[in-house]
Homo-oligomer: A and B are copies of this chain.
Amino acid sequence: MVDADAFLQMGREVLAKQPFSVLLGAELMALESGRRELAVAIADALKQQMGFAHGGGVSYLADNALTYACGTAMQVPVVTSEYKINYARPAIDERLIAPARAVHVSRSQAVCRCELFALRGGEEKLCAIAQGTIAKLPDRNEAST
């Protein structure tokens, strides 16, 4: 079991190795056991034709935040198995944050939940809600064919 600071550092190193996360400018804000928060600035590049954050960018954040929450809880390499997301409100503000946590952890996977908030001037507005299964990376001989 590593301490929280070391785990936060590991999480940031993984993020830095993901070209897609770097492209979107994702930042890992907090990381304690079973709970983490991922954030992105809603730069122009994340927008769709009406000036809102594109649903795909919101989904990216949900997917990744769920995965970090599980990885933090299980402390092993993990991948998203499945998730669902409900969009509640267009994200038209400055920054998206995605606090997530594991709500049930078994040996091979965790069920995680995430809320996504748009932030402007310190005010948070809920813009999406996600729930999904994050799985321990299978050993090579268990992999799907």
Contacts and interface: CB of A to CB of B under 8 A. Distances in A.
Nearest to A103: B129
A21 interface: yes
A40 to B, nearest CB: 10
Number of copies: 4
Interface in A51-79: 54-57, 59-61, 63-64, 67, 79
A103 B82 contact: no
B84 A142 contact: no
A67 B58 CA distance: 15
Interface string A101-123: 00110111001010100000000
A98 B91 CA distance: 25
Interface residues of A, number: 54
Contacts of A63: 55-56, 59
Contacts of A106: 88, 143-145
Nearest to A145: B106
A51 to B, nearest CB: 10
Interface in A1-51: 14, 17-21, 23-24, 44-49
A133 B81 CA distance: 9
